[in-house]
Amino acid sequence: MGFDKDKEQAKFKWLRCNQGFMLTLILITLLVYLELSPWVHKEVRDGFTLGFFPVLAVVLLIIFSLILLIDSHRKEIPGDVKTFTLKPFLGGVLMVIATWFYFAVMRKVGFLIITPVYLMFFIYLLGLKSWRTCAISALIMTVVVYGAFTAIGIRLPPGILSGILPF
């Protein structure tokens, strides 16, 4: 188990130093710069080129990335990179995707229906391994948030309950 974790961490060794990270950043900024090039020299009415400030930002990014390659902190490994493993990180990405999915469904089905389901699964996933507690907590949180928004006059998506809800 521990061996697997070590192996997994070794995969990200290239990320564990600033040089690797900064090189990646330089490549990304260069790519963005190229992406910008078709319109970047277009002159606007006041004589400025449209791309002056965006290019300035990219140039600054490249300069500071290069500084980071040679500065005294370059061999430091940031605290959270030391413990970085892929599986929990993918769990985090899943949380973001699930939240987007929740939002998309909420607009169709309604806040009051989908929110308790979303919260219940989310709470369970994060370690509260009692479905009953998860369900009760999810329901309370949904009702409190709905009540707070309704009280200040903001209507959350009613979805299929639009004809039934009084607010």
Q: Which residues from 35-54 bind another protein, rule CB under 8 A?
A: 35-36, 39, 42, 44-48, 50-51, 53-54
Residue 165 lies near another protein (rule: CB under 8 A): no
**Least distance in Å: CB of 40 to another protein?**
8
Interface residue with another protein, options 11, 13, 107, 108 (CB under 8 A): 107
Kindly list the distances between the CA atom of residue 46 and the CA atoms of 36, 42, 43, 50, 141, in Å, as whole numbers in the listed order.
20, 12, 8, 10, 53
The Cα–Cα gap between 135 and 51 comes to 52
3-state secondary structure of 1: coil
Residue 86 lies near another protein (rule: CB under 8 A): no
Residue 101 lies near another protein (rule: CB under 8 A): no
Please work out, in degrees rounded to the nearest 5, the angle formed at the alpha carbon of residue 68 by the alpha carbons of 66 and 69: 65
Residues 142-161 that bind another protein (CB under 8 A): 145, 148-149, 151-154, 156
Cβ proximity to another protein: between 23 and 81 the closer is 81
> How many chain residues are in contact with another protein, going by CB under 8 A?
72
- For the chain, helix (H) and strand (E) counts, in that order, are 7, 0
The Cα–Cα gap between 84 and 151 comes to 43
Residue 79 lies near another protein (rule: CB under 8 A): yes
3-state secondary structure of 43: strand
Residues 17-36 that bind another protein (CB under 8 A): 21, 25, 32, 35-36
